[in-house]
Chains A and B, each alone.
Chain A
Amino acid sequence: MPVLNATSRHEVTFRVNGTERTVRVENRMLLSDVLRHEIGLTGTHVGCEHGVCGACTVQIDGAPARACLVLAAQAEGMNIRTVEALAAETGRLSVLQQAFRDHHGLQCGFCTSGILMTLDALLAAEPDASEGVIRDALSGNLCRCTGYEPIVRAALAARDTLRKGGN
């Protein structure tokens, strides 16, 4: 059976935002660091590094997950989506991102990419998500600036726009 020894770097191949990437890293490198330092996708932020704050939330195989709780060695074959994938083109925000801008859903912005990835997955899976469901999903992302109310307003506005067929 394949054994990846502790002291060498090993090739790990996965998809990020639709592109197959291969990195050569130690087993113990966290996916959050792989994305930032090996691939240069610095939109994924690193907060607590033990799964509490949600700043590093990305989508793995379609579901929101903590990038700091995934080891590089586990990432083989994963399909990963980061905040960089949300805007279809540079300078044009997604519906969800625009709603955050319109409703002051961020202040310092540190938590925002994680929150966007949580809500993007939620609204894809549950286009009619209630405010309660949205608040429940947001409980996994800490924000110390906004008090959450503008974030909830932004999420509800994005939900309504997407339901009307916006993109």
Chain B
Amino acid sequence: MTLEVRDIVMNFGGFRALDGVSLTVPAGGLVGLIGPNGAGKSTLFAIMSGFQTQDAGAVLLDGRPLDALAAPARARAGLVRTFQVPREFRNLTVRQNLLAAAPGQTGENLLGLFFQPGRVAREEAVIARRAEETLRLLKLAPVADQPARQLSGGQKKLLELGRALMLDPRFVLLDEPFAGVNPVLIGEIVARIRELNAAGIGFLIIEHDLEALTRLVPYLAVLDRGRIIAQGGPDAVLTDAAVREAYLGGVA
């Protein structure tokens, strides 16, 4: 099971946002994606998750192209993304936010709801247990019944991770999981990602906080002006001349 993007090209008008990007996240891999603002990182996530359609190239999950799948189908196939600015179902409670991210229930259509109530109840019990486990894992249990809009920024990041977990993902695309999060909670999020990764979930992580990121990931890829300019171990990548040029504008 690998996640791969191959030769992705994306143009916005005359501007080439992505110019032949190829990158592979192996099964259970932990890969950081860095690069200056406007390098195309978020565009790459949008394409991988099915929010935008690339002009050329392919997104493959286990060698199988995902291009025909819309965003909800990709999430169900095990490729789940989070958002840079954390989003939540604001009027649902924290627990309901998690339950909402467990699609594929009989009770999702009105016929199933009214004519197979027993089955609906059994399925609900199963996902309710998973939601409880996820709440405990992310230490969100104390706020489980609060409306999600009341969470702090850091808690919302955890909730995003929790929503992703409810989909039983193979790969999670995290868009700046540490942005705007206090250092204590960053440690918490890092620890959770490590645990989940150890359990076999692959991560591709966009992050500007290089210090926190390099503590977490053994492999870094650098995107600059729509191209991958370096990838490998953090030490090698961060001392790479082209990377220093791109990041620091040649100052260093």
To the question of whether A and B form a pair in one complex, the answer is no
Interface residues of A (CB under 8 A from B): none
